[in-house]
Structures are given as structure tokens and as C-alpha cells.
Structure 1
Amino acid sequence: MLLSLVILFFLFSPVTSLKCFVCSSSTTNDECNQSSQSCQQPLDTCMTIVDTLGYMKAIVKQCASSSTCKGAASTASMNADGNGNTINCCNYDMCNFSAAESVHSHTLLLLLTVGILLLPSL
């Protein structure tokens, strides 16, 4: 009986949409994190684009579909001088709080923490 109620709760619970920071060409991450938006279906991913040319940066954050973001990320590139663009995709609320360079370090920290927690069980 209890299991049936739990299943019904999840079936009829309102679906909450993903929230992402959004901006359209800010020069700093702090400036870019001034507004957020609830993504509408089928937009299920927060996408961060950082274009770099010399000392100038342009940061764009927006809602996107997972396939669009992954496709764009696969074509992103930087040259030896550090010019070009990086594109990161994530899919939990406000996950695009950092500029693209630091998103990967957060994933590494999470994996490191999980690894440390698993060590006592070995």
C-alpha cells in the first residue's frame, strides 16, 4: 500500500524545470550570474560558452537541449595562444555558476570525495 502511494506521488508530482544562469555576452562571470531562468522543455541543459581573444572574454550562459550542447562542445577549440572557445554542459539547478574553465575541476573534486569515502570499505 505504501509503495503504491509513493509511486502515485511521483507520477502526479509537478515536474520542476531546470534553472540556469543566463547572460548574453558578459565579460566577467560575476556579471553573467546576475539573472537566471527556468528552462522550458525540451531545454534540459545549462550551457556555458567562453570565447577568448587575447585578454578579452565573452561569456554566454543559456538553456539548451543536451544534444545541442554536446554537439557545440565537441566543436569547441582553443589554439596554442589560448584563443578560441570552450563550451560546458551540465544539468542540475544553477550548475553553470562558474565560467567553463572551473566546471571540470568541480567534477574532479566530486570524484575525489567519492573515492575517499569508498577507501574505508576496501
Structure 2
Amino acid sequence: MLLVFLFLLFFSPGAVLSLDCYVCSASATNEECNQSSQECQLPLDTCMTIVDTLGALKAIVKHCASRATCNGAASFASVDSNGDGNSVNCCNSHNLCNFSGVDSIHKHTTLLLTVCVLLLLTH
């Protein structure tokens, strides 16, 4: 009986650990953006951070995303030689792993804006 209980405890859908991410929309600073968090629901298993920069203006967006969506956006993101453009950071290593957006790896303006619009339309 104890084995059945342990099996159900570890392999039931409720036993799946979820990921908490900081969430915000168009915040000017990282500190402002990190005021609220959300528990991601499957299939959203990754914290996604988008930083849009245009001159002195900066907009930071953080939310839950699927790993495929985040990696796809990150692979096409770009910043020009003036520092203008978009950076995308994806993480899922631990809760609130998107505390900072400085580990941005890839960037691209057009695809990133398209992904943002699609995400906004689906909520």
C-alpha cells in the first residue's frame, strides 16, 4: 500500500514541479519589472525576458513562455552597433531565474515584435 501511495505521489500530474517567473510589461528598469511573479502553467516551462532598446529608451518585458518559443525568438534577436534593438533571454534553471536580463544571447527586432504581439493576442 505504501508503494502505491509513493508511486501516485511522485508520478501524478500534480507532482510536476512548476516554474515561477518574474512578469511585467514594458517596464523601464529591471527593478521595476521584478515587482510581480507568476507560476507558469504547462506548456509554458521557461522564463522569457525581452529587452527593447532605442537610444535612451528601454522597455523590459518578462513572462512565462514555452522553451521552443523563447529559443526561437532568441535565435533571431539582434542589436545594432548603436545598441538599439531587442535582446531575449531564456531560462528555466530555477524559480525566478529571470531576475536579471543581462545574460541575453540573441536578438532580432521583427520576429521578437511578432512573438510579443502573438503572445498578447493569446491572453
TM-score interval (norm. to shorter): 0.7 to 0.9
1:84 is matched with which residue?
85
Offset of residue 14 of structure 1: 2.1
- The residue aligned with 1:16 is 17
Q: Do the aligned residues in 1 keep the contact of 2:44 with 2:67 (CA within 8 Å)?
A: yes
Q: Of the two, which has the highest radius of gyration?
A: 1
The answer on 1:94 being equivalent to 2:101 is no
Question: Counterpart of 1:95 in structure 2: which amino acid?
Answer: C
Is 1:71–2:59 an aligned residue pair? no
Distance of 1:87 and 1:30 partners within structure 2: 17
Which residue number in structure 2 is paired with residue 36 of structure 1? Answer: 37
* Structure 2 partner of 1:53: 54
The answer to whether the 8 A contact 2:25-2:62 is kept is yes
Distance (whole Å) between structure 1 residues aligned to residue 68 and residue 103 of structure 2:
22
Which structure has greater helix proportion? 1
When the two chains are superposed, the root-mean-square deviation of aligned CA atoms in Å is: 2.1
CA–CA separation in structure 2 for the residues paired with 1:31 and 1:85:
19
Stretches of structure 2 that go unaligned for 5 or more consecutive residues are 106-123
The two structures have a TM-score, normalised by structure 1, of 0.74
Query: Quick one: percent identity of the two aligned structures?
Result: 61
Q: Structure 1: which 5+ runs fail to align?
A: 105-122
Q: Secondary structure at the match of 2:15?
A: coil
Q: What TM-score does the superposition give when structure 2 sets the normalisation length?
A: 0.74
Q: Partners in 2 of 1:57 and 1:94 — Cα distance? A: 21
Q: Distance in 2 between matches of 1:88 and 1:52?
A: 14
Report if the CA contact (8 A) 2:47-2:91 is conserved. Answer: yes
Please tell me the residue identity of whatever aligns with 1:11: F
Aligned pair count reads 101
